[in-house]
Structure 1
Amino acid sequence: MANEALPGLPVPASADATGREVARATPVLDAILDRAVAIPAPAIRRHVESLRRRNPEAGPAQLVRILEKEYATVLGAAGGAVGVAAAVPAVGTGAGLVLSSSDVATFFASSAAFALAVAEVHGIEVVDAERRRALLLASVLGAKGAATVQKAAAGSGLAWGQTLLTAMPASTLAQVNRALANKFLRTQLTKHVGLTLGRVVPFGIGAVVGFAGGRALARTVVGQSRTAFGEPPADWPVVLRVVEPAADDAPPVLEHRSPPRKHGPARPRWLGGHREDR
């Protein structure tokens, strides 16, 4: 496959709909990442608002902890479910491997939704796919991902996630995304392959590995979200929407978001997938 990058080789670049150069890894990984970062911003907002309604005494710091627990629970349950399915004779190992493929997509979708919800609590709304993609990959990669962003943002006094989302020019962002995609292909895919095999071990052992593995991946992303944005604000901030500038070498523009509309009852939990905004 000519368009598929191999670990250790440069990640090919292509252009998005605006003509801006973007990093690309492999077709399958690209499709998973593209879907993961496509969750509509209003869905993120509604979820945070629903948690605030259900926890009226919680401030930003408490709400971040609630998001962290929710995220870890979803990943643990998803990983364990794959292992249980593989242990059932009627399902078997072959089906377990198929389920594990969809489980990787669940991991990325849930991780993207979690990271964007934490950004919302910190007063940042970002819709640009490449900024979301960089945030997702850096969070999943752990300390290596954070170091890549910090190196590109040398001299910034902001936490790395805030710099990435609110201050980094698109030209620098493209370089960061290429570096993150390279690192992911070299290191993180190996970890996911190992977890996939562990989940399909028969006799129920895979369920334990799957649950523990899912929780371990969640801990990495949760830890990085804390360093990405720093301490949550003491009070609920005015949310700023990140708007991409016309020039690639200029930082994004920050605009005050309009006050949220009144919404009805909370929709079903969106972690692990999303519905298009109506």
Structure 2
Amino acid sequence: MALRRTPIVDAALDRAVTIPSATIHAHVDSVRRRNPEGTPAEIIGLLEREYLLVVQGTGGAVGAAAAAPAVGTGVAMALTVGDVATFFGASAAFSLAVASVHGIDVEDAERRRALLLATILGESGAKAVTDVGELTGLRGLNVARAILTRMPTGTIRRVNARLTRQLFRKQLARQGGLALGRMVPFGVGAVIGITGGRALGRTVIQGARKAFGPPPDRWSDSVLVVEATEGAPRVIEQPRKHLPRR
């Protein structure tokens, strides 16, 4: 049983990409504050481990609740839809945190959605973005930088339409199968939830690595602030206010 495209799921995607940039940067700063000697690669590694704990923990909790004898199928499926929303939100926060480490700050919801979808879909998402990008002459850029700093808004909308179709055809079918597994009784559902959540999380991590490419060697003194326009985005270089630099 696969989750179908519905207004509820679309709304969950829309909510996921509205996290304030200040919240994202503050979280990255807090990780750096706890690890003052951490390189960009080391900080991204910590963000990856933190993200995995969130998605597998949520999956396990929902699996345990859905497997309880007093929980009906309708309630269990509602819990699973909530878990999908949490998965989207955590994945968006993670991908934007990685963007922050790479020195990119973007508030535009369309670009954020494209980044989220590309990372959730992993290799196939990166290929879809590259295919569209090649048609607009954006060869040679990694996927994330092309999405966030170079693609015209009209191209981003086409990318989002294509990635959304892929998401509902592939990834949410996997989520739907996982939802049924979470309803298995006697605690097995919790195990399936943890295992499945971790697998989905690893796909997103690999997707982010593919989209952004290697981390920078050192912390830069500036950040690229992206302002959306109807054509190509306006990119402004501003001093990085983040804590410690190395």
Determine if the TM-score, normalized by the shorter chain, exceeds 0.5.
Answer: yes
What is the CA distance between 1:131 and its match in structure 2? 0.4
- CA–CA distance in structure 2, aligned partners of residues 79 and 47 of structure 1: 23
**Cα distance in 2 for residues equivalent to 1:84 and 1:92:** 13
Change (3 A) 1:73 1:261: closer
What SS does structure 2 have at the residue aligned with 1:257?
strand
Matches within 5 A, 1:42-191: 42-91=22-71, 93-154=73-134, 155-191=138-174
Query: SS of the residue aligned with 2:185?
Result: coil
Structure 1 position 259, deviation (Å): 4.6
Matched, 1:253 2:244: no
Letter aligned with residue 105 of structure 2 = E
List per-residue Cα deviations over 1:141-192 (Å, max 9, x = no partner): 1211111101111242221111111110111111111111111122222111
TM norm structure 2: 0.91
Amino acid at match of 1:180: L
Whether the 8 Å CA contact 1:37–1:133 is kept in 2: the answer is: yes
Q: 2 CA distance for matches of 1:163 and 1:212?
A: 33
- 1:253 is displaced (CA, Å) by 1.5
The CA deviation at 1:74 is 0.4
Give the match for residue 9 of structure 2. Answer: 29
Name whichever of 93-102 and 65-74 sits farther off: 93-102
Task: In structure 1, give the amino acid aligned to 2:43.
Answer: L
Moved over 4 A (4+): 90-94
Structure 2 residue 184 is the aligned partner of structure 1 residue 201: yes
How far is 1:94 from its partner? 4.6
SS at match of 1:251: coil
Q: Quick check: which one's helix share is greater?
A: 2
Distance in 1 between residues matched to 2:13 and 2:66, nearest whole Å: 26
**Aligned partner letter, 2:225:** R
Return 5+ residue gaps in structure 2 as ranges.
none
Q: CA deviation at 1:99?
A: 1.6
Amino acid paired to 1:236? W
Residues 190-219 of structure 1: per-residue CA shift (max 9 Å, x gap): 111111111111111111110000000001
Q: How many corresponding residue pairs?
A: 237
CA distance in 2, matches of 1:92, 1:72: 28
Residue 107 of structure 1, CA deviation:
0.2
For 1:16, the equivalent position in structure 2 comes to none
**2:201 matched to 1:218?**
yes
The separation in 2 between residues aligned to 1:215 and 1:114, in whole angstroms, is 14
Amino acid aligned to 1:240: L
Please provide the CA RMSD for this pair. 1.9
2:152 and 2:129 map into 1 onto residues whose CA distance is: 12
| Alignment partners' CA distance in 1, 2:159 and 2:89 | 21
Structure 1 length normalisation: TM-score?
Answer: 0.81
